[in-house]
Amino acid sequence: MRLFIMIPLTFDQILLTPRFGRLPSHFYTRIQPTPLPAPYLIAWNQQLAREMGLASDAGQQPNLADYLCGNRLPTNSEPIASVYSGHQFGVNAGQLGDGRAILIGEYHAANGDFWEMQLKGAGPTPYSRRGDGRAVLRSSIREYLCSEAMQGLSIPTTRALGMAGSAHGVWRERLETAAVVLRTAPSFVRFGHFEHYRNDLDSLRELADWVIQHHYPSARQASNPYVSLLEQVIERTAVMIAKWQAVGFCHGVMNSDNMSILGLTLDYGPFGFMDGFDAGHICNHSDDTGRYSYQNQPEMGLWNLQCLAQALLPLMDRAAALNALQQYQSHFEAHFADLLRQKLGLLTWQESDWSLITRLFELMHASHTDWTFFWRNLANIDNSLRNHFLDRTAYDAWFSDYQLRLSREAQDSNERIASMNQINPKYVLRNYLAEIAIQKARDADDFSEINNLHRCLMQPFTEQAEFEHYAALPPAWAAQIGVSCSS
């Protein structure tokens, strides 16, 4: 018997030409990253590297900072930037594209998974629209941490494998320093890719066939594969947004060009996990009208899916597209109800439970009760939570009805507590935690907080004594943090 030893791979060994790069050339432009002077390593995601079968120790990856910022490319790399269109804040923005993202290749893992590798912030492309193609340190830290935090929460997301920085200056509202995130996903195709070809039937069909072949193979068995594709994207999107709502996550820029065809959370800009619950919470200071507020996210998911369906109309009957879209609400409500059932520690869901939830949301909204703290501590059936509500009499009445609802189900209390603690996280990436990590990195070249937060957030449901301080209620100064589209 022969013994095979799996040797972890380095960057120069792994990347192939991305399958997307085998489409005709009008889908993308071949482009080289713009070098960054004197890059340095900020973070390397050892856990993800191990999952992918790569050498997980940064010391085993020669010239790692150069690879992470695009100064060096793997031997087989043929970098591309793709073109797409989209609607931004409800307005057709026309041609957009990968303005600061460059796909450097694709990795085919030993388990059969494909991972596209994309550098975000690696310099201008033909789609930069007069931008510099760069990302700054603060936004790169936020994307690196949040994409991995979402993974820890079991929410579909792109991932972040590593991050490099440079003293190179980048101007936003002020002069900042540059950084690049190497992010990965099975595909970075967006709704906007389909919108770009809505008036080009051959290209639209070719793109849809490519997505079905590589990511939705079951659709090929349907009477109309394109309708099946739309239906599956609708369900994945509904599930993703239901999971956002359950943990109090706000995306901030739910434009159609920021919506993944795979139902992944994509493009971490002005995101935020709610502290005090506010149904109308707006995490993006650039969103003057509250289009992408917390309560509007489910509706905006449907709005974007309508854009996708409209783009796909040349490939299907209008009635079939409308019928597919009508499934969104039931998918969302079913998944959200199931998540709420688990958050409440219930074994079954009854229609009357919507009233219990509605009353709770109204009380939380009126008091700005901390979303994460409340849900995590509800498992203990400790009525001290009433101190987090303004109308304690009303809360007491709700709590009494909640206890009565629990009593109608035969469930061991220890099992209920354990199950609730596996759905209600103790740790989320609050904005103030990200801000502390950013300040340490920016002011003292101290990246330890990034690594500590990453370790904690990959196990958000587990009690971690060394990270207990990350579960604290936010300090008063946290309310002053603002994030916008430049974030």
Give the count of beta carbons closer than 10 Å to the beta carbon of residue 295.
Answer: 15
Write out the two tokens for 390. Answer: 């303004």
Query: Does the pLDDT of residue 4 top 60, yes or no?
Result: no
Q: Is the model's pTM score more than 0.85? A: yes
Query: Does the pLDDT of residue 3 top 70, yes or no?
Result: no
Write out the two tokens for 391. Answer: 């109308």
Mean pLDDT of the chain: 95
Residues 299-342: pLDDT tens digits? 999 999 999 999 999 999 999 999 999 999 999 999 999 999 99
Task: Give yes or no for a contact between 405 and 346, defined as CB atoms under 8 angstroms apart.
Answer: yes
- The confidence score (pLDDT) of residue 9 equals 75
Give the count of beta carbons closer than 10 Å to the beta carbon of residue 196.
Answer: 26
Percent of the chain clearing pLDDT 70 (strictly above): 98
pLDDT band at 47 (very low <50, low <70, confident <90, very high): very high
Task: Give yes or no for a contact between 460 and 376, defined as CB atoms under 8 angstroms apart.
Answer: no
Residue 468: what residue type? E
- Residues with active-site annotation: 257
Task: Give yes or no for a contact between 316 and 208, defined as CB atoms under 8 angstroms apart.
Answer: no
- The confidence score (pLDDT) of residue 74 equals 87
Q: Using alpha carbons, select from 260, 243, 249, 320 the residue that is nearest to residue 284.
A: 249
Task: Give yes or no for a contact between 36 and 447, defined as CB atoms under 8 angstroms apart.
Answer: no
DSSP 16: E
Handedness of CA 366, 370, 374, 375 (dihedral sign): positive
According to DSSP H, which parts of 183-260 are helical?
A: 191-196, 201-215, 225-247
Buried b (16+ CB within 10 A) or exposed e, 60-69: ebeebbbbbb
Q: For 46-55, 220-229, 387-396, which range has the lowest pLDDT when averaged over its residues?
A: 46-55
DSSP 376: H
- The confidence score (pLDDT) of residue 486 equals 61
Q: Using alpha carbons, select from 47, 91, 39 the residue that is nearest to residue 70.
A: 39
Q: d(Cα 178, Cα 134) in Å, to the nearest integer?
A: 7
Q: d(Cα 48, Cα 458) in Å, to the nearest integer?
A: 11
- The confidence score (pLDDT) of residue 7 equals 61
Residues 276-305: pLDDT tens digits? 999 999 999 999 999 999 999 999 999 999
Query: Does the pLDDT of residue 144 top 60, yes or no?
Result: yes
The residue assigned the tokens 């003292």 is: 444
**CB-count burial class (<10 Å; 0-12, 13-18, 19+) for 339:** middle
Percent of the chain clearing pLDDT 90 (strictly above): 88
